[in-house]
Amino acid sequence: MLTRELAIAEYKNGHVVPDRLTRGQHRQYLQLAQSMLHVYQNGVGLMRRQLRSSVHRLFENELDCPTRRMDAFCKLLDERSVYDKDKGSRAAKLRRRVFEIAAPKHPLVTAPDQLFESSESEVKKEIALEIGKSWIEIERELFADVIQFHRLREFSGYDSAAALLARYNVAQTQAVLYDAVSMTVWANDDFKLILRYAKLARLMHTIIRKSDGSYQMTFDGPASVLKQSRRYGVAFAKFLPGLLSCSGWKMKAIIQHRRSSWQNQFQLSPADGLSSNVAAAELFDSSLEESFAKKWGEQPREGWRLYREGVVLYQDQTVFVPDFLFVHEDGRKAVLEIVGFWTPEYLEQKQKTLATFSQHHIILAISDSVDWPSNEPSNLTFRYKTAIKVSDVLAILNQVE
């Protein structure tokens, strides 16, 4: 994804418009995108700064292209690249050795004379002989710990120039969401799939079932989070490609202006034409739920079988979809809800939701970072640091009547 510094958006009339390249207004970018891919496809062995410089040169005659747009393209191309990097601080050790050998012969000149006797080429040969490598090898490794000097080893690329441009448009939209105060999604067709993307991204949310059978999902945005706002912002932005791969939805977000107290609207729906073929497992395979489900396994544990998002609970208009459902072979049931990211308002709403569904056995796994009220019942509650232990969940499940 793009960093906040590479985001380009226009704020006008109370709305946010992220930078977007269209066929009608930016048709020349299709050829530029093809040329950028060509630079990286043929750039194995070149340094990162050389590749970026080549990309910038492609835009020399493109008057309406800001530098941030060029840098954003480079960032997206780098995401599909593998670079050789320094290991074990070898570059620093090599530099120290090279400078130790060269220092007594300073200054080095191209053509020695009576005043300056040290030839640069001869000193390089001497250094190479002493270190046991050719000067070409030494030069290649000398600054391997500096990101701009990393050399391209592999480029997986994009399927086409159009795919690179489509990724750019999505990435700029994601960057807008870094400053979201809240986001509301109305969904029909793919409600459960959209919800799965949101829950795997650990987004704080509430759900209301509308009278027409549709669902309204409200998410707390990164600008509302008290702690770990950057990490939550990344998770929030990662949700977008999943949403784009679904159908039957519309979204509205409230965006905090970065340089003022103003708040602006941002609206999006499938009609806007952004596309993504991202699958949930590919985006969130390191999530807390994924990790716990893998540890639990497909077979029952002490009679309990685990189902991911196996039940949707309704109480009037309120909807609650726990992270996991557990069903015992004797018919007992319990659900597990994980509380990670938080704001005081979110915790208050979460407690109201839990009270609404108090007739169910709801096990709570609460992060150590969460300021959960100490006076709440604790027989179905436990804390976790970075991972949820199967033993902690089983200990509580076996108390369920």
- Specify if 151 maps to a domain: no
Residues 210 and 254 in one domain: yes
- For position 302, what pLDDT does the model report? 94
**Structural domains in the chain (count):** 3
In this structure, are 242 and 185 located in the same domain?
A: yes
Answer whether residue 281 shows pLDDT above 50: no
Within this chain, do residues 237 and 306 fall inside the same structural domain, yes or no? no
Domain boundary residue, one of 257, 282, 307: 282
pLDDT at 389: 93
Element (H, E) at 161: helix 161-176
Residue 230 amino acid letter: R
Task: Count the alpha carbons within 13 Å of 186 in the hemisphere toward its beta carbon.
Answer: 10
Q: How far apart are CA 62 and CA 380, in angstroms?
A: 62
Q: Which secondary structure element, helix H or strand E, spans residue 305, and what is its range?
A: strand 304-308
Q: Is the pLDDT of residue 115 over 50?
A: yes
Assigned domain for 150 exists: no
Provide the pLDDT confidence category of residue 227 given band limits of 50, 70 and 90.
low
Based on the fold, state whether residues 295 and 358 are members of the same structural domain: yes
pLDDT for position 39: 98
Asked whether residue 192 is domain-assigned, the answer is yes
Give dist(CA 235, CA 2) in Å, integer: 13
What is the pLDDT at residue 282? 44
pTM above 0.85, yes or no: no
Residues 100 and 52 in one domain: no
Domain harbouring 352, CATH code: 3.40.1350
Q: Are residues 118 and 161 in the same domain?
A: no
Residue 67 and residue 130 share a domain = no
8 Å CB contact between 263 and 255: yes
Q: Are 181 and 241 in contact, with CB atoms under 8 Å apart?
A: no
**Same domain, yes or no: 262 and 204:** yes
Q: Give the tens place of pLDDT for each residue, 147-180.
A: 999 999 999 999 999 999 999 999 999 999 998 9
Q: Which domain holds residue 128?
A: 90-144
| Mean local confidence (pLDDT), 359-387 | 82
Domain finish residue from 249, 282, 315 = 282
What is the helix (H) or strand (E) element at residue 91, kind and residue range? helix 90-102
Q: 105 or 397: which carries more pLDDT confidence?
A: 397
In a domain, 152, yes or no: no
Q: Same structural domain for residues 380 and 348? A: yes
- For the cut 50, the answer to whether the pLDDT of residue 286 exceeds it is no
More confident residue, 322 or 15: 15
pLDDT at 375: 59
pLDDT in tens, 244-256: 999 999 999 999 8
